[in-house]
Structures are given as structure tokens and as C-alpha cells.
Amino acid sequence: MNTTSPLSLRGVLGAASLGLLLSAGTAMSQVIDLEGETVTIVHNAAPGGSTGLSSQVLADVWAQTMEGNPTIVVQSVEGGALTRGIQQVMNSRPDGLTIGYVAWQGTTRILDPEELQIPFQDAGIIGGIGGAAFFTHVDAEVAADGDAFANLESLRFGGFSPRSAPSMQMAGVLDLLGVDWSFVSGMGGDGPLRAAMERGEIEAYPATVSIYLQDLRDGPIAAGETTGIYHIGRIDEDGAEQPIEAFGGAFPTVTEYLAAQLGETPSGPIWDMIMFHSEASAPVNWLVMAPPGTSEEHLAMLRESFAEAVQSPEYLEAATNVFGGEPNIVLYEQMLDIVNTVQNTPEELRETMRAYIAEMEG
């Protein structure tokens, strides 16, 4: 005979639920014990490229600094124009077992349709890594130096897509110089762009510091076949552009170059667009984040261990191999500022970028 009344059963279930909720709440507010666990770093690009390699390099070092020393594996979740990997992290449980290392393209992603927007501010932001600084690489037969470049009547330059920030910046600089330009899209990466320039399909392109150090500096630039005009520098706390050390002073920053060519410091909406990308896009290629809902205590541990990992000599050495130069480390506070800046981009700036994209699409 069943002696348990429905009321008492309900009471037991209720008490059990309350107990579960309380214990879950307690667990949520603590650093999650990761000892013996496998943490997955999800990145949103194809395996093998700089995203995959640099996330692996980070995983190897971070496993040593993260509390509990979990095993960290890297998983590629590509697709959806980089959104699939980001969404996977955003939709993961905040159980400490998933971390995102995502190419975020924040400054141009804000131009996407509503359904593709990502509320990065809701994620548990940990930090960011920047590996790519760009300079303008030109066929020397087209422009042998900066003066000749500024006096060009027209220029055909290449890039991956009209939405890429370095291409948009280059178009903006050409407009400020009064050079008529056309854009050739469809060439992803330094290799295809350089081959296209050697074939004469394009006359210039934004090249990375990595390929500059690895090949261009001592190769075609040293041989006088090609040249560099200016580079996109780093924006400091005062909003001033500082040179990237890896270029070794070979080319001026875009601010210095334009000031010299125009006779005054540039200003206006085009310049604002160029600086916006420099400030918000250039420092960070990869946003490191935890799923929304991760407890502050756990996030604090992740931020601390991330900072320790990315500033360790072991990481810097390995990352330098991947990027061809030392990476730009962005810690939590700065990353949060960047995310907020991007999410609050003024409408006028968005319109300027949309206009450029439309023009680059022809």
C-alpha cells in the first residue's frame, strides 16, 4: 500500500528542486573545477590558417596557467561567414568547458543584417589577440615612392572582399589623396594578392607585417621591384597613431604620410572611418570569450590565466612564429572598451562604411 500522500510527494519534490537550485546557484558563483576536464577552444575558421594555428598555440600555454590545468583542445567550427563558430560559443552552456577564439570582424559585422548581428557585449569577454598589421604594398613600376603614389591618377588595388577593413582603409586613403581607384576582390591572403600583383592584375594591395618580415622586405622590396608606402599604426590611449615596431621605421604611419602629402593632419568622415578601423579593428583579430552566463568568479580566473599565458615568453615565441612578429595582446579592460566602441558605432560612420562597400562592389 502506498502511504505517500500527493501533498507530501509534492513537498519532497519541491524541496529537492529548491535544493538543486541552491546548489546550482552556489556552483555557478564559484570557479568551476576543471581538473581532469577537457576544455574546447572553438575557433571559427578553417583548420591550419592563422586562426587555427594561433588558437592551438594559445591552448598549449593556457592549459598550464588555467586553474585545474585542464586538457585544452581546439575545434574548428567554420561556416556562416564566421558566425557559426561564434554562435556555437554563444549558445554553449556556461560550464567552463567551452571558450571561443573567434575572428570577430567587429567593425564590419555591425553592417550585417539584423539576423547576423552578434551581441558580443553579452558574452563573457576575456581578452583579444591581434596579429595583423598592414602596410600598402605597391608595384614599383606604378609608384616608386610615397610622393609618386600620392600623385597617381588612378590605381587598381586588390583585397579579399569589399568588407575587409584594410581594403576599406586603403580606399579611404586614396580618396583623401585624390587618386581615382578601382577595387579587385576575390583574393584572400598575402600569397594570392602578391601573385596577382606580379601578374599585373592589381597594382597594389594591403599586405601584412608577417609577409613583410618573412619575404617582402628582403625579397622584392630589397630588389626594388615593389615598395611600401605607409602602414596602419597602433592607436594609443590618447588617440594618436603610433608606429608598429616590426616595420622598423621603413614606412611612415598613415597619419604621418597623409599629413606630409596633404600639408595638414587629415580630418573628416573618411579619416574618421580610417581611424575607426585602426582603433577598433586593427588591434584585435581574435576575440577570446566565454559563453554568456559564465560566473564572474570563473571569468576572473579565465581573464587572469589568459593574461598570464599570453604574456609568457613561451607563448610570445610560438605566436611570433605564427604571425611573423609579436602579437598584439589585448587584455579584458581594453577589449571591453573595443567591444563597446564597436557596438555603439555612430550611424554616420556606418553610412560612410556602407558607401565604401557599395563603391568597392562596383
Partner 1 sequence: MLQSFFDGLVLIVSFPAILYLFAGILLGLWLGIVPGLGGVTGMVILLPFTFGMEPAPALAMLLGLFAVVSTSDTVSSVMLGIPGTIASQATVLDGHQMAKRGLAQTALGAAFFCSAFGGVLGGIAMALSLPIALWIILAFGSPEFFLLSLLGLVMVGAVSGNAVSKGIGAAALGLLLSQIGYPVASSTPRYWFGNPDLLDGLPLVPIFLGLFGIPEMMELAARRTSIAHIGDTRAENDSLLQGVREAMKNKWLAIRCSLLGVYTGMLPGIGSAVVDWLAYGHAVQSAKDRSQFGKGDIRGVIGPESANNAVLGGSLIPTLAFGIPGSGAMAILLGALTIHGFAPGRSMLETNLDVTYSMVWTIIIANLIGAAVLAVWGRQVARAAFIDGNLVVPAVIMFIFMGSWLWQPSMFTWIVLLSVGLFGYLMKTGGWPRPPFILGFVLGPIMENAMSITYQSYTPLEVIQRPTVLILLAVVSVVFFLAVKQTRKRLSDFNIEITRESRGSLYLSSLMAVIMCVVFAVAIWLALDWTPLSRITPIFVGIMGLITMAFVIGSDFTKQRRFARAEDGEAGGTIGGFLAENRSELAIFAMIAVMVAATPWIGTYAAVIAFAAFFMKFWGRYSLLWTAVYSFGIWVVLYVLYDRMLHTRFEPPFFL
By the criterion CB under 8 A, which residues form the site for partner 1?
A: 38, 40, 46-50, 52-53, 56-57, 59-60, 73-81, 83-84, 87-88, 111, 115-116, 156, 161-163, 182-187, 189-192, 194-196, 198-202, 211, 214-215, 219, 318, 321-322, 324, 357, 361-362
Query: Distance between CA 65 and CA 214 in Å, rounded?
Result: 31
Q: At its nearest, how many Å lie between partner 1 and the CB of residue 290?
A: 16
Question: Do 63 and 71 meet the contact criterion of CB atoms below 8 Å apart?
Answer: yes
Q: Which residue number, 210 or 253, has a Cβ lying nearer to partner 1?
A: 210
Q: At its nearest, how many Å lie between partner 1 and the CB of residue 211?
A: 7
Q: Which residue number, 150 or 174, has a Cβ lying nearer to partner 1?
A: 174
Q: Which residue number, 63 or 258, has a Cβ lying nearer to partner 1?
A: 63
- C-alpha closest to that of 325 among 246, 259, 211, 225: 246
Q: At its nearest, how many Å lie between partner 1 and the CB of residue 118?
A: 10
Q: At its nearest, how many Å lie between partner 1 and the CB of residue 80?
A: 4
Q: At its nearest, how many Å lie between partner 1 and the CB of residue 332?
A: 27
Q: Which residue number, 147 or 198, has a Cβ lying nearer to partner 1?
A: 198
Question: Do 278 and 125 meet the contact criterion of CB atoms below 8 Å apart?
Answer: no
Q: At its nearest, how many Å lie between partner 1 and the CB of residue 296?
A: 25
Q: Which residue number, 19 or 200, has a Cβ lying nearer to partner 1?
A: 200
Query: Distance between CA 168 and CA 160 in Å, rounded?
Result: 11
Q: At what angle do helices 347-361 and 269-280 cross, to 10 degrees?
A: 100
Q: Which residue number, 150 or 168, has a Cβ lying nearer to partner 1?
A: 168
Q: Which residue number, 130 or 334, has a Cβ lying nearer to partner 1?
A: 130
Q: Which residue number, 157 or 276, has a Cβ lying nearer to partner 1?
A: 157
State the pairing for strand pair 134-139/204-208.
antiparallel
CA dihedral (287, 109, 179, 211) positive or negative: positive
Q: At its nearest, how many Å lie between partner 1 and the CB of residue 79?
A: 5
Q: Which residue number, 198 or 333, has a Cβ lying nearer to partner 1?
A: 198
Where does residue 331 fall: left (phi above 0), alpha (psi -120 to 50 degrees), or beta otherwise?
A: beta
